[in-house]
């Protein structure tokens, strides 16, 4: 064939780089000496950032005088909102599929107005944190304090000031779900209607490790490296690229061994963004670590909801209708990029989820206010939805004269009723409400507890038993965020590689935050491929070293990330067996991998993995010429059959209330959960226990208290109460295993179920304990001693 007739190859295309002399991409000039050089200047050591934060919930910023701070020895630069505007593109916390959601553009530092106590107003960068903090004290900000919108309930009143003057009201978003004939269900003369108003106090994550960012920009190669204490490094890679002005491919985000997250570390924070922006502007590494006082007024809060609910129940105990009205105040902005509307949306979608309810109406209003921003936090919306439905279930059972367990049995979706959809449009499959409830009743020995409770009441000891059924949203598909335009991957990726020592290396886009990601991924890989656990190494949390993926949030690590690892492990196994078959002149179907060795059908060892790998890597001449072995495999996985994979379960709380002091003593707590295939029982059980403890925190202890003018009153570890080990009950965990049909591994999520059901179980137990005393039902969380005494009419 002549050259004229030769087909055009990839090397002949105009955009081919083969056969051309081109400059090396990102070439760096080598300079003799120590340190990194740019324009013949040695970059000095790392800088540290500190922030001036607004002392007011709402104020106009008249001026920011930074002159005295700039004169402090060791201060390198000072930034205010106007200077930061020139260095960073603003962000807007909206999603296209949340129709009507609005929020104004937001910058890392406040520009012209401060809208919550704790909002960063100015930034000092210095050679040490101490110097930066001292210089912050010298910055003179002239504020003109304005009236604050602190109460979400009155935020939409006509006479309330506007958080944002450019908007016509303080309404950020609203949505209504309306299914069936709700009005008809409630006017039916044969139903009993119960009503209640629930209040949930806002609280926050209080992670073991505070938020931290260290950014390092290399101008010679336009490379940005960010060490980030967060949950979704690839998401933040995209966020930094959009707003800092560095190509996404040139940004590396490293989030390894994060000290707890609970959802608060999947958001864009002004101080973190400012740290990255300034590192690029100054061409020097900059570090910022929030102290605990800053965390309370800057980390996102959650759970601040008022929900009015009513339920109609027939004489034979069937739920005829359910209606709720939810209002939540989310602070002055919608968080970016996941928004601050998701929690309310979840409340509307999830309330009554375990039950067959044909007539359902839910209305949600998300309003702006002058408090710290609210957004996603562990079990987003679940504790609210569960407490509302389960509280109404208890009240309805009393009203129609049924045991509440029996009322639940008559209304739960039957275990053979799947697939099905809820009135709010959620699609369910592979759940086990009936089996879980039966297991819980047996586990707690309900009849024995009731007998003990009755005997103790006769002696003036008031104990209560509370039960709650729940669903947990896990393994989210692209329907959650991706369709709304957020740079949030619904898939996860995994690469599994066999090295010459016979060890396999797993790189996964799921991150490690203390929940045991590394262990679970190693277990899955070892099982899928056929080696012992000590022959597996796992890498997570580094966009420069792992496949693209969503990270850890929404109880998706094992279900999505684990499935990707499983598929990659099986693919590598197939590759290795094909190579072994060629070497051994056998058939791949007659071979297997066990304990790090290729074996035949009889189990006889044929060749060690290390020997096979060495032949491939070092002694390729011993292989057939037509064999090109691939000792690495990459796979990605996303859920496609359903928008979400649901977990379900039940919880029970047994406690004692002192009617003289209002103190609650937690005695026992039980959880039955169906999270599909349980990969590591101990890790799953401890995830559930940890979730229960956080749920108890919201039920009894944790609340961000604010004054009427928007000042947080307990922004420290002395006044903000978190649950302590000595106060916690024994927590017994049991499982129903119904593998999800959406994956080969069959794993659902388990990280948020404990938090979802615990507040409802504790609330119902407290009300059960106080029932003989004629107390008004407690429906305000946390249920503090003062609120208990108020319910008893003693304060």
Q: Are 748 and 665 in contact (CB under 8 A)?
A: no
Residues near 778 by Cβ (< 8 Å), separated by ≥ 6?
763, 766, 767, 770, 787, 788, 791
- Would you give the DSSP letter of residue 106? B
Q: What is the pLDDT of residue 492?
A: 95
Question: pLDDT tens, 122-161?
Answer: 999 999 999 999 999 999 999 999 999 999 999 999 999 9
Burial-class residue 634 by CB neighbours within 10 Å (0-12, 13-18, 19+): middle
Query: What's residue 742's pLDDT?
Result: 95
- Measured CA to CA, the distance from residue 154 to residue 329 in angstroms comes to 10
pLDDT at residue 28, as a whole number: 42
Taking only the tens place, the pLDDT of each residue in 661-694 is 999 999 999 999 999 999 999 999 999 999 999 9
**Measured between alpha carbons, how far is 498 from 598 in angstroms, rounded to an integer?**
13
| CATH 3.40.50.620 at 38-146+210-258+264-298, yes or no | no
CA angle 488, 492, 493 (to 5 degrees): 130
Contacts 24+ apart (CB under 8 A), 740-744: 740/429, 740/430, 740/475, 740/559, 740/645, 740/676, 741/429, 741/430, 741/641, 742/429, 742/475, 742/639, 742/640, 742/641, 742/642, 742/645, 743/559, 743/563, 743/637, 743/639, 744/563, 744/566, 744/567
State the Cα–Cα distance between residues 299 and 395, nearest whole angstrom.
Answer: 36
Q: What are the tens digits of pLDDT across the range 510-545?
A: 999 999 999 999 999 999 999 999 999 999 999 999
Q: What's the topology of domain 381-475+644-791?
A: Aldehyde Oxidoreductase; domain 4 (3.30.365)
Instruction: Give the distance between the most distant pair of CA atoms in the chain.
Output: 105
The predicted pLDDT at position 674 comes to: 97
Order of strands across the sheet that contains 59-65: 113-114, 59-65, 140-145
Answer whether 200's CB lies under 8 Å from 152's CB: no
Pairing state between β 203-204 and 75-80: unpaired
Pairing mode, strands 420-421 and 427-428: antiparallel
Query: Regarding the domain delimited by 3-35+491-637, which CATH topology (the fold level of the hierarchy) does it fall under?
Result: Aldehyde Oxidoreductase; domain 4 (3.30.365)
Once rounded to an integer, what is the mean pLDDT over residues 280-287? Answer: 97
Per-residue model confidence as pLDDT tens digits over 2-34: 555 555 566 566 665 555 555 545 444 333 333
pLDDT at 29: 38
Mention every residue, 6+ apart, whose C-beta is less than 8 A from residue 448.
none
SS3 794: coil
Are residues 284 and 215 in contact, defined by beta-carbon separation less than 8 angstroms? no
Q: Which residues contact 86 (CB under 8 A, 6 or more apart)?
A: none
CB 428 within 8 A of CB 421: yes
CA distance 175 to 173: 7
Q: What is the reported pLDDT for 483? A: 87
What mean pLDDT is predicted for residues 57-77? 98
CB atoms within 10 A of CB 492: 29
- Give, in degrees to the nearest 5, the angle at Cα 786 between 785 and 792: 90
Please provide residue 19's backbone torsions phi and psi, each rounded to the nearest 5 degrees. Answer: 90, 10
Q: Out of 37-51, 364-378, 587-601, 609-623, which region has the weakest mean confidence (pLDDT)?
A: 37-51
Structure-token match 């927590």, residue found: 731
Look up tokens 């994979």; give the residue.
645
Among the listed residues 90, 101, 97, the one whose alpha carbon sits nearest the alpha carbon of residue 167: 101
Mean pLDDT confidence for 386-401: 98
First vs last C-alpha separation in the chain: 99
Instruction: List the one residue out of 659, 727, 662, 734 whose CA is nearest residue 696.
Output: 727
Residue 42 has pLDDT above 60, yes or no: no
Instruction: Show the 3-state SS of 642-663.
Output: CCCEEEEEEEEEEEEECCCCCC
Q: Report pLDDT for 480.
A: 87
CB 237 within 8 A of CB 248: yes
Give me the DSSP letters along 205-242. Answer: ---SS--EEEEEEETTTTEEEEEE-SS-HHHHHHHHHH
Residue 25 is given by DSSP the state: T
Beta bridge partners of 536: 504
Q: What is the pLDDT of residues 733-780, one digit of tens each?
A: 999 999 999 999 999 999 999 999 999 999 999 999 999 999 999 999
Pairing between strand 113-114 and 212-218?
unpaired
Is 80 exceeded by the pLDDT of residue 704? yes
Residue 12: what pLDDT?
60
pLDDT at 33: 35
Per-residue pLDDT, 18:
58
Rounded average pLDDT over 223-249 = 97
List the domain boundaries for the chain.
3-35+491-637, 38-146+210-258+264-298, 381-475+644-791
Asked whether the predicted pLDDT for residue 180 surpasses 70, the reply is: yes
**For the purposes of burial, counting CB atoms within 10 Å of the CB of 256, is it exposed (0-12), middle (13-18) or buried (19 or more)?**
middle
Please state, in angstroms and rounded to a whole number, the distance separating the CA atoms of residues 726 and 69: 46
CA of 703: how far to CAs of 74, 447, 700, 723, 758, in Å? 39, 35, 9, 12, 16
- The residues, ordered by sequence, that sit 6+ positions from 584 with a Cβ below 8 Å of its Cβ are 591, 598, 606, 607
CA gap 207, 266 in Å, rounded: 13
Mean per-residue pLDDT, 393-419: 98
Average pLDDT of the residues of the chain: 94
Nearest to 389 by CA among 344, 446, 347, 433: 347
Q: Identical fold at 3-35+491-637 and 381-475+644-791?
A: yes
Paired with 191 in beta bridges are: 314
Give one DSSP letter per residue of 549-593, joined into a string.
Answer: ---S-TT-IIIIIHHHHHHHHHHHHHHHHHHHHHHHTS-GGGEEE
DSSP string, 362-391: EEEEEE--SSS-B---SSTTHHHHHHHHHH
Q: Cβ of 241: how many Cβ atoms within 10 Å?
A: 17
Give the three-class secondary structure for 505: strand
Among 340, 263, 276, 271, which residue's Cα sits nearest to residue 104? 340
For residue 184, the model assigns a pLDDT of 97
Q: Which pTM does this prediction carry? A: 0.94
Checking phi first, is residue 361 left (phi over 0); if not, alpha (psi -120 to 50) or beta? Answer: beta
Q: Give CA–CA dist 189/191, Å, rounded.
A: 6
- Residues above pLDDT 90, as percent of the chain: 91
């Amino acid at each position: 064939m002549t050259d004229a007739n030769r087909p055009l190859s990839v090397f002949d295309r105009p955009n081919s780089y083969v056969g051309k002399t081109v400059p090396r991409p990102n070439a760096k000039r080598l300079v003799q000496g120590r340190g990194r050089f740019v324009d013949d200047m040695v970059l000095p050591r790392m800088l540290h950032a500190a922030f001036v934060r607004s002392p007011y919930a709402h104020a106009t910023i008249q001026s920011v005088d930074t002159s005295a701070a700039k004169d402090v020895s060791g201060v390198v630069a000072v930034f205010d909102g106007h200077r930061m505007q020139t260095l960073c593109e603003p962000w807007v916390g909206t999603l296209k599929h949340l129709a009507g959601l609005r929020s104004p553009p937001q910058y890392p530092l406040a520009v012209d107005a401060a809208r919550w106590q704790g909002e960063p107003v100015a930034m000092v960068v210095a050679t040490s944190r101490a110097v930066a903090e001292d210089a912050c004290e010298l910055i003179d900000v002239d504020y003109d304090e304005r009236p604050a919108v602190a109460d979400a309930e009155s935020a939409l009143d006509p006479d309330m000031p506007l958080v944002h003057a450019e908007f016509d009201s303080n309404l950020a978003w609203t949505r209504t779900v309306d299914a069936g004939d709700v009005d008809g269900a409630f006017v039916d003369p044969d139903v009993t209607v119960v009503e209640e108003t629930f209040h949930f106090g806002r609280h926050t994550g209080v992670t073991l490790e505070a938020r931290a960012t260290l950014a390092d920009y290399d101008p010679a190669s336009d490379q940005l490296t960010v060490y980030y204490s967060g949950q979704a490094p690839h998401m933040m890679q995209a966020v930094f690229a959009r707003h800092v002005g560095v190509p996404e491919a040139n940004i590396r985000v490293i989030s390894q061994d994060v000290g707890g997250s609970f959802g608060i570390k999947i958001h864009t924070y002004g101080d973190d963004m400012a740290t990255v922006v300034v590192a690029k502007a100054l061409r020097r590494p900059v570090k910022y670590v929030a102290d605990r006082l800053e965390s309370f007024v800057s980390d996102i809060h959650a759970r601040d909801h008022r929900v009015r609910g009513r339920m109609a129940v027939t004489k034979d105990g069937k739920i005829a209708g359910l209606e709720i009205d939810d209002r939540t105040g989310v602070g002055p902005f919608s968080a970016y990029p996941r928004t601050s509307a998701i929690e309310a949306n979840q409340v509307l979608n999830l309330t009554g989820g375990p039950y067959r309810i044909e007539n359902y109406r839910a209305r949600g209003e998300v309003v702006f206010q002058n408090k710290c921003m609210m957004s996603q936090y562990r079990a987003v919306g679940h504790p609210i939805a569960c407490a509302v439905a389960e509280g109404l279930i208890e009240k309805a059972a009393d009203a129609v004269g049924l045991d509440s367990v029996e009322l639940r049995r008559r209304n739960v979706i039957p275990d053979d009723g799947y697939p099905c959809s809820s009135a709010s449009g959620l699609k369910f499959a592979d759940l086990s409400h009936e089996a879980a409830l039966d297991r819980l009743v047996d586990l707690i020995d309900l009849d024995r507890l009731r007998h003990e409770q009755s005997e103790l009441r006769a002696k003036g000891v008031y104990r209560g038993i509370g039960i709650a059924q729940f669903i947990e949203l896990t393994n989210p598909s692209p329907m959650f965020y991706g369709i709304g335009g957020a740079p949030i991957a619904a898939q996860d990726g995994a690469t599994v590689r066999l090295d010459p020592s016979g060890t396999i290396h797993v790189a996964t886009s799921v991150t490690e935050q203390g929940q045991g990601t590394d262990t679970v991924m190693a277990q899955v890989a070892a099982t899928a491929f056929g080696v012992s656990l000590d022959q597996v190494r796992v890498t997570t949390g580094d966009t420069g070293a792992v496949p693209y993926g969503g990270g850890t949030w929404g109880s998706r690590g094992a279900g999505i990330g684990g499935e990707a690892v499983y598929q990659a492990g099986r693919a590598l196994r197939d590759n290795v067996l094909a190579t072994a078959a060629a070497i051994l002149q056998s058939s791949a179907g007659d071979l297997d991998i066990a304990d790090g060795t290729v074996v035949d059908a009889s189990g006889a060892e044929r060749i060690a993995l290390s020997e096979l790998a060495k032949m491939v890597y070092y002694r390729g001449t011993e292989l057939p010429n037509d064999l090109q072995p691939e000792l690495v495999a990459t796979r990605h996985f996303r859920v496609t059959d359903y928008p979400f994979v649901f977990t379900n379960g039940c919880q029970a709380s047994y406690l004692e209330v002192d009617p003289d002091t209002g103190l609650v003593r937690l005695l026992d707590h039980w959880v039955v959960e169906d999270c599909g295939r349980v990969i590591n029982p101990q890790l799953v059980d401890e995830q559930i226990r940890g979730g229960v403890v956080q749920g108890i925190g919201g039920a009894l202890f944790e609340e961000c208290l604010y004054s009427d003018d928007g000042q947080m009153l307990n922004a420290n570890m002395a006044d903000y109460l978190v649950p302590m080990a000595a106060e916690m009950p024994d927590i017994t965990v049991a499982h129903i295993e119904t593998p999800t049909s959406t994956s080969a591994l069959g794993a659902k999520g388990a990280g948020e179920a404990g938090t979802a059901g615990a507040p409802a179980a504790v609330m119902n137990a407290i009300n059960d304990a106080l029932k003989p005393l004629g107390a008004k039902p407690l429906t305000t969380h946390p249920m503090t001693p003062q609120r208990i005494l108020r319910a008893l009419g003693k304060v």
